[in-house]
Each structure stands twice: as structure tokens, then as C-alpha cells.
Amino acid sequence: MTAPDLPPRPVGRVVATELKPATPHQFFFWTATESPIGIGAIVRSDGPGRTVYGVVTDGFAYSDLVTPLHDVIGADGDPAAAQDAPTARAEIRLYAAAVLRQVPEEPLQPVPLGPVHLATDADVVAALRMDAYTEGERPTGVPVGVYRAGGLEAPVYLDADFLLGPEAAHCNITGVSGLATKTSAVEFLLASIFQTFPAHRGTVAALCFNVKGPDLCFLDQPTELSDEDRRVYERLGLAPEPFRQVTYFAPHKPDGVNLNTLRTHEALAANTEPLVWGLREVLEYAEVLLNRDDLDAKADAFIDFLADRVVGRTYEDPLLRDAPFQVETFADLEEFFRAIFDYVEALGRGSEVWKTHHVATIRKVRNRLGNIGTRSKGLVTDDGPAHDLPWGRFEDRSVTVLDVAGLDPLAQDLVFARVISKLREHLERRDLGVDHVMVFVDELNKYAATDGPESYVKKMLLDLSERGRYLGLVLFSAQQFRSQVHRRVVGNAGTAIYGRMDMDELATPGYGTLSAATKIKLATLPKGELMVRHPHFTQPIFVRFPRPAVLSGREGVARFPPAPELPFADAVARQLRALDPAVTADAVRALVEGRREEDVRQALHATRRTRPEGVLAFFRACLGRTVRPEVPPPRRGVPALRRAEDPYAP
């Protein structure tokens, strides 16, 4: 503890009356009116043959005043005179504490009467059962913050086995917006995991969805920390440093070259990659699009047909056309659809089926797939190969951020569904590159709402919550209103973290187990303080965590202002400069002048994908020879006939 010279004087004494008896799970103790005890303080009570640890959940104060009227009489009806009473009334400070642990654990008995002490460092370890996982040869403790009370301070650890699996898993964070609680907490916790996750438990990586603003856009940039924050880092045994290995992925804007993210400052371009998917990637997860409307099993079957037989393959159907179809892009797919419709129309009235698929179903699927191309322009490309996450090459202690803040909700769903599914597939096959992946999703009440429609994303989140831990796929989720998130998602989170809460939210039944005092504390929790539930902790514990050692979104945007949206050629030049700083805008402008934008995009994607030595030369080679359009000479026309009877003729 930080105050080793503190005398071991009791701060209170357990009392039990018929109306307020001590039980195996709760006890009451009184203290002096001036005492360091507060809601959330951890205390130790020593009784005969038994030590009990508890956390203060409520407090009471009362005097020997029988009725308020007696105070009025005593003060002659003058409130000012009441303050002048020569003797202060006898007053009690009585606290209720919930039992955290009893030693010995058996037989479980009511808390004996005895002196109450503030918990010391060792007491906190024992009270929270942290001795089971922070000591020994293979510790699995992950610092989550420091517990503070009465000038004492003790680190609090979570058990990695219960945070990342396999015993329990997932972490859910709740807190009001605007206090940086959720984002800061998850940033700190991820950093803590990366620094302390034991090697004997395997490798770990994080994948974060940035769903709003610049929140997670600067995880690789250091920030200024106060001395106090640095001290807390030291107390927790952590290094106050930003994440070392971060890769950002963001879709393009509709122009296909400017990135749709706030992380567009040139100094940050080196690890900011475009996220571009093609028809194949979209079609694999078309179910995401289907459940948004009333598309039926027939449409589902047709999409399966497309995915299995057509897209990415050579499809031959002499009835449609002589040449085989090679469907790789949305444009190819449109051509394929066109051929079907032409065929059906040619058959005439009464023929509305092609290969058992009704033409209406085919039209629905065509519209839906076309819709994603339109609404997700920038994410979905029609003119080039995909640029995807490094599946199979995830590295230990790496962070991958998918910035989908600027995407249409439908496209966000698509990204979410595909990425989670791919993670799951790779983890099942054990070929992702790491053993555990923490997926951070904010605004969970949007993706897994209690009363929202059944969506593919929600089903996926439920599946992830319930079965992800066996795979090493761990959900770190956050939301403002926990009560609005599907119970099975938050219920499966082994660890729950609460920042400052809204009183209306606290009034919902999900918080019924918290005392009124704990709710008040939660509603007024200062920045940097959290309430933590963890399987090893019998009761929620309040901890303080230091500021994350990375730039906040607001700071990051101020220090690295997003680059303005550039004209097409300049945007291409910027992307090429990320590969080779020697590339000049003028050179790129000269190269792309007169070229079709699709061709330029293809060349750019190829260059990014290949990352050649000579960037500009490779790009030039990809563009190919310039074919100047021939301008046909003007044809000599036939002079108009002049008619005399036409008075208006020229």
C-alpha cells in the first residue's frame, strides 16, 4: 500500500440487531463521523476464527432525534438557531457491506461482530480472490485499475482466463457518451492486455470497429500524460505507451481514391489502408442484405446458385449466349442478369422461369445486389480486385482498426458480418495468425438491440457471445444503455465495466441488484473511474484507471487534421506517396491525365497490393500505353435546299 505507516486502527465495528442482522452475505458496521469509509470501500472484519472481506454498498446516518418537530421546538422555529445548539446531537454513521469473501469459506456463517479495518493491499488481493490468478508460476492477472480508499491504493487485476477465455470471456462496457469512458476504458484495457497477457496463454490481437468520429483513429500516437497518470501506470506495472502495431482500414469515398476516414493526414498514411471488396466478398455475405427486407428462401436459393455456380467461375449456358460468362465484377453480373432477362423475354408470354428461378426472384436479387453497389460505393468496387484484411497474417499484439464511421448502415452491417465471419472461420481452422482476437464494437445497442428486428448481425453477435470463447474470438462491446442491448449478449460478458451512468438507465430492472447508494455513485462517477464486475469478484468493485497513452480522437484531429478531399489525380498521388514519398503530384497528374478513372483505380490498387520498389514506374506500367482517342475528321455535309416559298428559310 502507499501508506505503510498507517496505524492498523479499526475504522469501524460490526453491529447486528434484530432489524439489521449480520448474514453470510451482508453486514453492518458503524464508524466515527469522520472516517475514510465511502461507498465502494473494501473492508476487513476479523471475528473469532473468521476473517470477512466486504465492500461498502450503502451508508446511513441518523441522530437520536425522534421527530423533526423536536428539532423545530429546540430551535424555537428558527433554522439558524438550530445550527447554534451548543451540543451536536449524537449521530451515527452506519454502513452496509456486501460480503466479498469469508476465510475460511466453509462453513458459511453470518459475519461475526468484530472490528472493521480498511483493506490493505494484501486484503484487496484476498477479498477479490486475486490470489488465485496473480500468484504462482503461471499468473494470468491483467491490471484493470487501482482501487482507492482512505489514502490506500491497491492494483486490481482481471483474470485473463475469464476475460479472453476459455473459462469465461467477453467484456461489456456501459457509460454515458461524452466522458470518454467507454473508449478510454477499452483503450486502456487493450493496452493492459497486450502488455500482460501471459505468453503461456498464446497470442492475441485486437480488431476494432470505429463506428463514429475519430474515436479510435490515433491508437498509434502518443499523448501527454499527467504525473499522476504515469504514477498509476507504474503502480500497475504497465508502460505508458501507444500501441506499437496498428493498421487502419477504411473504405474509399465514392470517387474510389479518397479514403472515407478522418485519418487522412499524410503523416499517418503509412499504416492506413483502403478496404475494398468486390462482388465475391459481397456475395458471400449477401444474407446480411436479405434479412433487411422480405426476401424469401427463393431469393436465398438464387443467391446460393450465383455464389456456387456463377461468380468467380466460368459459367456456360448456350441458351443465354454462346460465349461463356466470366462474372467477376458487378458489371459482369449485370451483364449476366441482362442475358437472363433477354432470354426470358424472348420466350414470350407465360415463360417467367429460368432454371427453376422465377424471374421476379431474379429481379429482386438483382435489385438488392445492385443496391449494395450503390449504397456502398467506395467499399464495394466494380473495377478492380479487393483489398482486404490480412487474413491468416494477424500478428501477436497487433491492432486492426476498421474505420466504418463514414459508411452507410447497410454497408457497416456488411463489413461487420463479413469480418466477424472471416475471423471465426480462420480461428476455427487455427490459421488466423493469432490464438485470440478481441473484437471491439461500440454502439452495441444499435447492432444487438433488445427490441430491434432480427438481423444477421444480431444473430452473429449472439453466436459470438455464446460460442466465441471456445474459438478465442472475444467480444469487447460498449454501449450507452445496457438495458437496450440483447440480454444474451451482455449476459454472456464475463466482465462488465460501468462508467458514469444515466439515472434513467440505472432505474431499469437490470440494475436492481445495486444499492441506491451504488447507483448514485455510478451516476456521479468522475472521469477515469469505473465499476467492474468480474467472475472472481463477488461484488462490483470501483477502480480508477489512468488515461490511455494514446491520442484521443479530438486531440488527434487537432494534431493531425484530416487532409481535404483532393481532386482525383492528387488523391491518387497521395496514396502513391504513402508507398514512396518521392512520388510527386505533378508526375502523377501527368500520368493519369486523359485516362479513364477506372483504369487509374485499377493501376492504383495493383500498385498498393504489390508495393513495388519503383512505385511510380510500376504504376505507369499498370496504366499501360496511352491510347489517344482519334478525332474523326468532320464529314462534308450536304447543303440544305433553299426553297423560295419558304419565307423563313435561311
Positions touching other proteins (CB under 8 A) are: 64-67, 70-71, 73-75, 81-82, 84-90
CB nearer other proteins, residue 91 or residue 296: 91
Q: What percentage of the chain's residues is helix, strand, coil (to nearest 5)?
A: 35, 20, 45
DSSP β-bridge partners for residue 29: 14, 95
Shortest separation between residue 493's beta carbon and other proteins, angstroms: 48
The distance in angstroms from the start CA to the end CA of the chain is 104
CB nearer other proteins, residue 87 or residue 314: 87
Q: Using the 8-state DSSP alphabet, how is residue 132 labeled?
A: H
Contact 380, 330 (CB under 8 A): yes
DSSP β-bridge partners for residue 53: 44, 101
DSSP β-bridge partners for residue 43: 54, 118
CB nearer other proteins, residue 81 or residue 649: 81
Contact 469, 166 (CB under 8 A): yes
For residue 140, give the C-alpha cell: 494470468
CB nearer other proteins, residue 79 or residue 637: 79
User: How many CB atoms are closer than 10 A to CB 230?
Assistant: 14
CB nearer other proteins, residue 91 or residue 266: 91
Shortest separation between residue 85's beta carbon and other proteins, angstroms: 4
Report d(CA 381, CA 278) in Å as an integer. 5
User: How many CB atoms are closer than 10 A to CB 107?
Assistant: 8
CB nearer other proteins, residue 16 or residue 606: 16
Report d(CA 241, CA 546) in Å as an integer. 12
Shortest separation between residue 41's beta carbon and other proteins, angstroms: 24
CB nearer other proteins, residue 31 or residue 210: 31
**List of residues 6+ apart from 497 with CB closer than 8 A:** 144, 171, 172, 173, 174, 185, 189, 530, 531, 532, 533
Shortest separation between residue 93's beta carbon and other proteins, angstroms: 14
Shortest separation between residue 63's beta carbon and other proteins, angstroms: 8
Contact 448, 461 (CB under 8 A): yes
Shortest separation between residue 10's beta carbon and other proteins, angstroms: 18
Shortest separation between residue 551's beta carbon and other proteins, angstroms: 51
CB nearer other proteins, residue 73 or residue 582: 73
Shortest separation between residue 12's beta carbon and other proteins, angstroms: 17
- 621 vs 120, 604, 607, 626, CA distance in Å? 70, 11, 10, 11
